[in-house]
Structure 1
Amino acid sequence: MSFRVRAITLDLDDTLWPFAPIGARVERTLDDWLRRHCPRTADRFPIPAMRALREQVFAEHPDLAHDFSQLRRLSLVRAMQASGDDIAHADAAFEVFHAERNRVEFYPDTEAALVRLAARRPLAALSNGNADLATIGIDRLFAFQLGAREHGAAKPHPGIFHAACERLGCAPGDVLHVGDHPEMDVAGAHRAGMRSAWLNRTDAAWDRTDLRPDLEFSSLAALADWLDAHSATETEAA
């Protein structure tokens, strides 16, 4: 399929790196820190109980569904209050979480593919999560990062896609959104009037009948290959 692409927006978790190892490591690291600094909290809320408390806090605050960082802070404060520990520790605990959350292991193709894509088109990160590209060390490859927390609404709401397009100075139909999630990324981009590329690293079957992604790739490198060929075709046509 051929169409104009003036800019690219990219999801982060499970698109540039797998999130599951990060989530598991964050839980262990935070639990270790709590056992040293807030032992009553660690005893009352071991990892499964802390996870359940976090889910409860998330459910109680649908108005903060776009702000994972604030929800995480609230969960820590709630746990410390319930355990009798000083809630002043919550800020330090959150910093431990934040540092570990941003220690990512890229998919093998990610870094080289990002360099290739950034050389062709402006890139913007568009994520519901709380990864920080500057902390991770790849912000130089992106025009900007737009998170659900900063925008005030999460994918798949069309507003966050439109805000990214506006900052890129492009009409939605000229921007390609790339992500792993059929609803948050593909359907969200589709409803916002953008082109979509489904990054299907697990060889999953597309099981929706109401829409399809414009493009599908098994790796970010394959997307970079497509964009190289697409750019060459555009140059020849010009």
Structure 2
Amino acid sequence: MIDVLGNGSAPRLVVFDLDGTLYPREAYAEQVLAVIGRMFVELRGATPDQAGAKVAELREAMRTNWSGTSTTSFVRANGFDVGQWLGYRETHLSIADGLEPDENVERELARLREVVPIALLTNNTRASMKAILDKVGVGGFTEVFSAEDTGHTPKPDPGAFRVVLDRFGVAAGDVWSVGDRVDIDIDPLRRLGGSGIAVDGPADLGAAVDHLIGLARPA
């Protein structure tokens, strides 16, 4: 089921999230939790029990408030800087290994890009993003934006969306975001004046695309 959080404007650009949106969140969460626990031990000298407690804290946040839980925000709140987190994640995490091709995702994105430009905005590194897209079998974005592009303003910082808006030269009020976490993928753009559609995962993309095409091509 989708949740439309919009101003009713016809989209001039649609920005997609990656993790949990173009592939199921279940393929992401446990891998990331394991890597974060390892990072606390190796980079902060935490004991396994201490690291386990941090992982349990993040797992509970994911369970009770998936929409508002950002792993990047979590590690930053625990003293790791963005570069440190990205470097460690790049070395120790390979989400793509657990993914399968999904023809439906590419089909739905292809339907939408016939009527409006589409972009990808993710907190993944460029290499990780490419590996995931290749494994799922998704391409054709007008532009992609990774952690290297947003620097010290990753989602949920609205600055991540400002990077996208500046690159395309469009007003936020004409842009829609599609993602599985309202607080992370939708609200930062809404704070700039844009709109969004929250999905529970790739199975909801068809409904989201139908809605956006309807706005772009009013009856």
Q: TM-score range by the shorter chain?
A: 0.5 to 0.7
Partner of 2:205 in structure 1? Answer: 220
Pick closer, same or farther for the CA change 1:227–1:190 going to 2, 3 Å.
closer
Partner of 1:145 in structure 2? Answer: 144
Give the secondary-structure state (helix, strand or coil) at the position aligned to 1:117: helix
Structure 1 regions of 5+ residues with no counterpart? 31-40, 74-93, 202-216
Note if 1:176 corresponds to 2:176: yes
Q: How many residues align?
A: 183
Pick closer, same or farther for the CA change 1:68–1:116 going to 2, 3 Å.
farther
Preserved contact between residue 165 and residue 171 of structure 2 (Cα < 8 Å): yes
CA distance in 2, matches of 1:130, 1:120: 28
1:117 counterpart letter in structure 2: L
C-alpha RMSD of matched pairs (Å): 3.8
Preserved contact between residue 58 and residue 71 of structure 1 (Cα < 8 Å): no
Partner of 2:19 in structure 1? Answer: 13
The 4+ residue runs of structure 1 with deviation greater than 4 A are 25-28, 47-60
Whichever of the two has the greater Rg, that structure is 1
Equivalent residue runs for 1:88-237 within 5 Å: 94=91, 97-98=92-93, 100-103=94-97, 104-105=99-100, 109-130=104-125, 132-135=128-131, 136-137=133-134, 140-152=139-151, 153-201=153-201, 219-233=204-218
Highest RCO, 1 vs 2 (Cα 8 Å, sep ≥ 6):
2
Deviation of 1:123 after TM superposition, in Å, equals 1.1
CA distance in 2, matches of 1:225, 1:111: 14
Question: What CA deviation, in whole Å up to 9, does each residue of 1:195-216 have, x standing for no partner?
Answer: 1111145xxxxxxxxxxxxxxx
Pick closer, same or farther for the CA change 1:57–1:188 going to 2, 3 Å.
closer
Preserved contact between residue 128 and residue 148 of structure 1 (Cα < 8 Å): yes
Preserved contact between residue 158 and residue 192 of structure 2 (Cα < 8 Å): yes
Structure 2 regions of 5+ residues with no counterpart? 1-6, 36-41, 59-73
CA distance in 2, matches of 1:2, 1:116: 20
Identity of aligned residues (%): 26
Pick closer, same or farther for the CA change 1:49–1:72 going to 2, 3 Å.
farther
2:130 counterpart letter in structure 1: A
Deviation of 1:166 after TM superposition, in Å, equals 1.3
Partner of 2:66 in structure 1? Answer: none
